[in-house]
């Protein structure tokens, strides 16, 4: 009779969580910083300037955050009930 062993998934508890906890915000900051540098140095026409204006980007980012928080609230409310 042959027995197979399962890989130990819990070999390094917390290592993956730390990578996600620190890695994702760092990735977001790098991508955001790259976009800011590109936006500051890009040669844009009038339409692109209006669409990518700092105030417009800030407004849309804030709307995205609000929608995400509201959606998460309703998901948790449904999950708890």
| Per-residue model confidence as pLDDT tens for the chain (81 residues) | 666 666 655 555 556 688 788 899 999 999 999 999 999 999 999 999 999 999 999 999 999 999 999 999 999 999 998
- 2 is a domain residue: no
Q: Are residues 65 and 75 in the same domain?
A: yes
Q: Are residues 30 and 53 in the same domain?
A: no
Which region, left, alpha or beta, applies to residue 58 given φ > 0 means left and ψ of -120 to 50 means alpha? Answer: alpha
- 62 is a domain residue: yes
**Total structural domains within the chain:** 2
Q: Are residues 80 and 60 in the same domain?
A: yes
The domain in which residue 60 lies consists of 44-81
Dist CA 48 CA 55 (whole Å):
13
């Amino acid at each position: 009779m042959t027995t197979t062993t399962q890989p130990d998934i819990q070999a390094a508890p917390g290592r993956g969580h730390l990578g996600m906890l620190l890695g994702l915000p760092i990735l977001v900051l790098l991508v955001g910083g790259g976009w800011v540098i590109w936006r500051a140095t890009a040669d844009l026409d009038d339409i692109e300037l209006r669409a990518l204006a700092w105030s417009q980007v800030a407004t849309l980012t804030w709307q995205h955050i609000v929608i995400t928080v509201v959606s998460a609230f309703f998901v948790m409310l449904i999950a708890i009930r």
